[in-house]
């Protein structure tokens, strides 16, 4: 489990096909950044790390990097299949009991891939608008929470197939929003409560797991 509060910004160092070329091994550089992101060499093998919203398992690590495998299913259902050397990745270590819950409960299980539509300056922030798959859009509510590439955000506006959030300068500085551009694909995870309500109501549609 995660909170959607990104604690480090990593960079893809290598992408290597495994399992006959369908799966991928990702090596992610993550320089130590103090108490929020310690020496990666101290992270236990088998630990879970949210990588732009996708929960991955650490299988190797060094002082400033770790490696994780992504299955063909993960590559097909997230943006990970498009990652290349140099891609920027939002990182968050898993939540511990007693940690501050600054965002919202995020599972690290990506519900679908959305698209950045536009970015418009608005006072001291930037309003980003995203298009969501139909099965997810109906589960995103104004003033509710959504995770975009693993970042916990408050929804400020919704339409039938899109939603908008405001990104303050600090968030842009410490996450991949600094390099995001309209047209880019993003990982989306709807609020966990909305996921189960939609399931119980039978309104989620085939696109929502």
User: pLDDT for 136-149, tens place per residue?
Assistant: 998 999 999 999 99
Question: What is the Cα–Cα distance from 146 to 24, expressed in whole angstroms?
Answer: 27
Whether the Cβ atoms of residue 89 and residue 10 lie closer than 8 Å to each other = yes
Q: What is the pLDDT of residue 158?
A: 96
* 3-class DSSP state of 206: coil
pLDDT above 90 coverage of the chain, percent: 72
> Half-sphere exposure of 60 toward its Cβ, with a 13 Å CA cutoff?
8
Tell me the pLDDT tens digit for each residue of 76-100: 999 999 999 999 999 999 987 777 7
Confidence of residue 205 (pLDDT cuts 50, 70, 90): very low
Higher pLDDT, 20 or 9: 9
In sequence order, which residues have a C-beta less than 8 Å from that of residue 39 and are 6 or more positions away?
A: 32, 63, 64
Tell me the pLDDT tens digit for each residue of 34-56: 566 778 888 899 999 999 999 99
Taking all residues of the chain, what is their mean pLDDT, rounded to a whole number?
A: 90
Report residue 176: phi and psi, to 5°: -70, -5
Question: What is the Cα–Cα distance from 92 to 6, expressed in whole angstroms?
Answer: 5
Question: What is the Cα–Cα distance from 139 to 29, expressed in whole angstroms?
Answer: 34
* 3-class DSSP state of 138: coil
Q: What is the pLDDT of residue 98?
A: 73
Higher pLDDT, 5 or 197: 5
Q: What is the pLDDT of residue 20?
A: 84
For the whole model, what pTM was predicted? 0.90
Question: What is the Cα–Cα distance from 128 to 25, expressed in whole angstroms?
Answer: 31
Report residue 87: phi and psi, to 5°: -60, 140
Q: Which spans in 12-66 are helix H?
A: none
Domains of the chain plus CATH, in order, are 8-93 (2.40.30.20), 112-201 (2.40.30.20)
150 φ/ψ sector (left φ>0, alpha ψ -120 to 50, else beta): left
> Half-sphere exposure of 33 toward its Cβ, with a 13 Å CA cutoff?
15
């Amino acid at each position: 489990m995660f909170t959607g509060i990104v604690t480090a910004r990593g960079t893809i160092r290598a992408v290597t096909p495994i399992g006959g070329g369908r799966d991928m091994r990702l090596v992610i550089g993550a320089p130590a950044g103090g108490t929020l992101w310690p020496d990666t060499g101290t992270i236990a093998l088998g630990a879970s790390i949210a990588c732009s919203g996708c929960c991955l398992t650490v299988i190797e690590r060094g002082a400033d990097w770790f490696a994780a495998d992504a299955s063909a299913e993960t590559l097909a259902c997230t943006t990970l299949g498009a990652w290349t050397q140099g891609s920027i990745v939002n990182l968050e270590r898993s939540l511990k009991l007693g940690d501050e819950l600054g965002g919202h409960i995020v599972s690290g299980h990506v519900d679908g891939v959305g698209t950045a539509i536009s970015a418009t300056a608005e006072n001291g922030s930037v309003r980003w608008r995203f298009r969501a798959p139909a099965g997810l859009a109906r589960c995103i509510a104004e003033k509710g929470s959504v995770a975009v590439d693993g970042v916990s955000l408050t929804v400020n506006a919704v339409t039938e197939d899109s939603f908008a959030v405001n990104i303050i300068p600090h968030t842009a500085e410490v996450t991949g929003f600094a390099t995001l551009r309209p047209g880019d694909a993003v990982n989306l995870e709807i609020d966990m409560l909305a996921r189960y309500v939609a399931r119980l109501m039978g309104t989620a549609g085939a696109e929502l797991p």
